[in-house]
Chains A and B, each alone.
Chain A
Amino acid sequence: MAAATSRFSLFSKGQLVVLGLLASTPLIDVAMPTLRLSAPMRTVVTSAIIALGLNIVVGWTGLLNLGIAAFAALGAYAFGILTCEIYPFQVGFWWGVLLAGAVGAFAGWLLGAPTLRLRGDYLAIVTLGFGEIVQDGLKNLEAITKGTQGINPLPAPSLPGIEFSSETPVRWFYAYLAILAVVVFLCRNLEFSRLGRQWFAVREDELAARCMGIQPDKAKLKAFAIGAALAAVGGALIASQLSSTGEPANYDFQMSILALCIVIVGGIGSITGVMVGAIVMVGLNNVVLPIATQSLQNAGIGSTQNVLTSPDNYKFLLFGLALVLMMRYRPDGIIHSGKAVRK
């Protein structure tokens, strides 16, 4: 097959370029410290991981999931419970991240098993509802989750001889980037695997897939579970970065939509595209808009009192506009996957 030649390298060219680009962002941070990139850089990585999980479900298998944030939340809380000093487990950062992924996979499987027979919009509604249920569940299970306080403090990454703390954001960023590279590597292998072919076939035509000897239900369930696992890993990394799970309301519908925007704007079905989407959307959300708000305030035009003059308040208008414009002018996203689905 055409892809066979490049298949045995770790990453595709596009993926290498984007990972390389990300790896060089600390230089931008040094050159322009006013951008305050140290936190957004890690957010790009965590968002990319969640969006890559969503891409498996939405982009490759063609199932609209509007509740991916729920799996990020479960990952964050699993990480919190497994690592925080107030609980007996304290398995440490790496085990925490891995087990959070396992919890996510299990949750994805649990949600998927009874609901994946639903099609299109109905499945979207169920996932939407699941997103709300998880938030409320986490808020009300106060005995375990500390309710709206969130679980804290949580550990930073740890490696023998290397210290990670809020004083070393660049080091921390590179640890996250390494995890992203592993996720990209896994996704790339999945894309070319037998399972990947099952997903594409199911997305294109379920009956035809059946005629090829594929079980669509099983393929979908695997997509759901693996997508949820990646989202949970992303959630665990968010929690570690904040040293807290934050409150359950942080993992709301907006987070799910942001992940969906990343997938669609970046290039549905394309790993490289999803990473580019994460850079663009998180860049807009966490760097451009706050800076615009700040500079308007400094110029005396906007103030925190006047909601209309703060660009930050327009972000969902802008995201919506971005989605509409992408759908109109570039429905395959910034990066073409070559075989992406047009919604």
Chain B
Amino acid sequence: MSALLEVQNIVAGYGSIEVLHQVSLEVHEGEIVTLIGGNGAGKSTSLMCISGIVPLRGGEIRFAGERISGVGEGIRADKLVGRGLVQVPEGRRIFPRMTVLENLMMGAYGRDDKAGIAADLEKVYALFDILKARSSQLGGTLSGGEQQMLAIGRAILSKPRLLMMDEPSMGIAPILVSKIFAAVRELNRGGLTILLVEQNARAALKLARRGYVLETGRVTLTDDASKLLVDPRVREAYLGDG
């Protein structure tokens, strides 16, 4: 099986600080892969590199067999969304003064297949019925968990082939976290490939098929998620089982 996403030895940083030192990972069609690690490990930077927002200083990224980023070159971020590389950014970043429906339609901004958009909208409403009930409410008036659902729904409207989620559980009531993770599982069952960045390592590893552990800009461990869950190093560092 060839990988949908191949990240090879990427190096990236901000200013004089190098954040990622030769990070490699791959995601295969139909998988949920999780990237776990502590604060400042480079999880979000990795996603920003894949999305084409942070430029690479080394290595390359291939998506669906095509080279999308290298040093000093690459496909622009806005074009990548059209190819199905879609990110749910950290902290939700919904548009607070647009209605829920307007937020969702922003996701479909680059599409013109009306029937497909309508079908995807129904799909999102089926996944998160609260969004349908609040479709004419301003996004900023939703609770944190509902905003996360909105951010995911908005990304679904972008018609992703690979959905990248950055800390969907951050700052959200536990009951909504499990609801959101259940939705992620359901999306995956529907055939969507997912790259999940999480600090909530236990929940992420339970959900994912494979996992990568990122520490200070390096992948230190990678295995099937079920094995990582019982790996003593992971248990000690990320699962709170000293």
Query: Which among A207, A212, A340 is the interface contact of B106 at CB below 8 angstroms?
Result: A212
Query: Which among B82, B95, B154 is the interface contact of A200 at CB below 8 angstroms?
Result: B95
Q: Which residue of B lies closest to A202 (CB)?
A: B95
Report if A205 contacts B (CB, 8 A). yes
> Complex Cα distance A43/B62, Å?
58
> Complex Cα distance A197/B157, Å?
15
Per-residue interface assignment for chain A, residues 214 to 254, with 1 indicating a CB less than 8 Å from any chain B CB and 0 otherwise = 11000000000000000000000000000000000000000
Contacts of A213 in B (CB 8 A): 77-82, 109-110, 158
Per-residue interface assignment for chain B, residues 43 to 87, with 1 indicating a CB less than 8 Å from any chain A CB and 0 otherwise = 000000001010000000000000000000000111111100011
Q: Which of A54-69 contact B (CB under 8 A)?
A: none
Contacts of A270 in B (CB 8 A): none
Report if B171 contacts A (CB, 8 A). no
> Complex Cα distance A2/B99, Å?
10
State the Cβ distance, B174 to closest chain A Cβ, in Å. 25
Report if A125 contacts B (CB, 8 A). no
Which of B79, B82, B109, B155 has most A Cβ within 10 Å? B109
Q: When A2-B101, A200-B95, A205-B93 are in contact, do A210 and B109 touch as well, CB less than 8 Å?
A: no
Contacts of B136 in A (CB 8 A): 2
Report if B217 contacts A (CB, 8 A). no
Q: Which of B2-26 contact A (CB under 8 A)?
A: none
Contacts of A209 in B (CB 8 A): 106
> Complex Cα distance A72/B155, Å?
41
Per-residue interface assignment for chain B, residues 94 to 137, with 1 indicating a CB less than 8 Å from any chain A CB and 0 otherwise = 11111101100111011000000000000000000000000010
Q: Which of A191-209 contact B (CB under 8 A)?
A: 194, 197-198, 200-201, 204-205, 207-209
State the Cβ distance, B219 to closest chain A Cβ, in Å. 24
Q: Is the interface on chain B under 10, 10 to 19, 20 to 34, or 35 or more residues?
A: 20 to 34
B77, A197: Cβ atoms closer than 8 Å: no
State the Cβ distance, A215 to closest chain B Cβ, in Å. 5
A341, B97: Cβ atoms closer than 8 Å: yes
> Complex Cα distance A212/B97, Å?
16
A339, B98: Cβ atoms closer than 8 Å: yes
Report if A31 contacts B (CB, 8 A). no
Report if B153 contacts A (CB, 8 A). no
A207, B89: Cβ atoms closer than 8 Å: yes
B101, A214: Cβ atoms closer than 8 Å: no
Q: Is the interface on chain A under 10, 10 to 19, 20 to 34, or 35 or more residues?
A: 20 to 34
A207, B93: Cβ atoms closer than 8 Å: yes
Q: Which residue of A lies closest to B111 (CB)?
A: A213
Per-residue interface assignment for chain A, residues 259 to 283, with 1 indicating a CB less than 8 Å from any chain B CB and 0 otherwise = 0000000000000000000000000
State the Cβ distance, B208 to closest chain A Cβ, in Å. 22
Contacts of B77 in A (CB 8 A): 210, 213, 215
Report if A1 contacts B (CB, 8 A). yes
Q: When A211-B86, A215-B76 are in contact, do A201 and B106 touch as well, CB less than 8 Å?
A: yes
Query: Which among B82, B89, B99 is the interface contact of A208 at CB below 8 angstroms?
Result: B89
Contacts of B87 in A (CB 8 A): 211
Contacts of A205 in B (CB 8 A): 93-96
A201, B95: Cβ atoms closer than 8 Å: yes
Contacts of A210 in B (CB 8 A): 51, 53, 77-78
> Complex Cα distance A2/B104, Å?
13
Which of A1, A2, A205 has most B Cβ within 10 Å? A205
> Complex Cα distance A205/B51, Å?
17
Q: When A1-B102, A213-B158, A214-B78 are in contact, do A208 and B97 touch as well, CB less than 8 Å?
A: no
> Complex Cα distance A212/B155, Å?
8
> Complex Cα distance A168/B151, Å?
57
State the Cβ distance, B29 to closest chain A Cβ, in Å. 22
Contacts of B78 in A (CB 8 A): 210, 213-215
Per-residue interface assignment for chain A, residues 1 to 37, with 1 indicating a CB less than 8 Å from any chain B CB and 0 otherwise = 1100000000000000000000000000000000000
Contacts of A201 in B (CB 8 A): 95, 106, 109
B86, A1: Cβ atoms closer than 8 Å: no
Query: Which among A1, A214, A339 is the interface contact of B109 at CB below 8 angstroms?
Result: A214
B96, A204: Cβ atoms closer than 8 Å: yes
Q: Which residue of A lies closest to B87 (CB)?
A: A211
State the Cβ distance, B47 to closest chain A Cβ, in Å. 10
Contacts of B82 in A (CB 8 A): 213
Contacts of A214 in B (CB 8 A): 78, 109
B98, A204: Cβ atoms closer than 8 Å: yes
> Complex Cα distance A37/B74, Å?
60
State the Cβ distance, A217 to closest chain B Cβ, in Å. 10
State the Cβ distance, B163 to closest chain A Cβ, in Å. 11
B106, A197: Cβ atoms closer than 8 Å: yes
Contacts of A215 in B (CB 8 A): 76-78
Excluding A197-B105, A210-B53, 10 further A-B contacts by CB distance (< 8 Å) are A2-B99, A204-B95, A204-B98, A205-B96, A211-B89, A212-B106, A212-B109, A212-B158, A213-B79, A340-B97
**Interface CB pairs A-B, < 8 A, 22:** A194-B109, A200-B98, A201-B95, A204-B98, A207-B93, A208-B89, A208-B94, A210-B78, A211-B86, A211-B89, A212-B106, A212-B109, A212-B110, A213-B77, A213-B79, A213-B80, A213-B82, A213-B109, A214-B78, A215-B78, A339-B138, A340-B97
Give the interface of B toward A (CB within 8 A). 51, 53, 76-82, 86-89, 93-99, 101-102, 105-107, 109-110, 136, 138, 154-155, 158
Q: Top 3 nearest A-B pairs by Cβ distance?
A: A213-B81, A208-B93, A204-B95
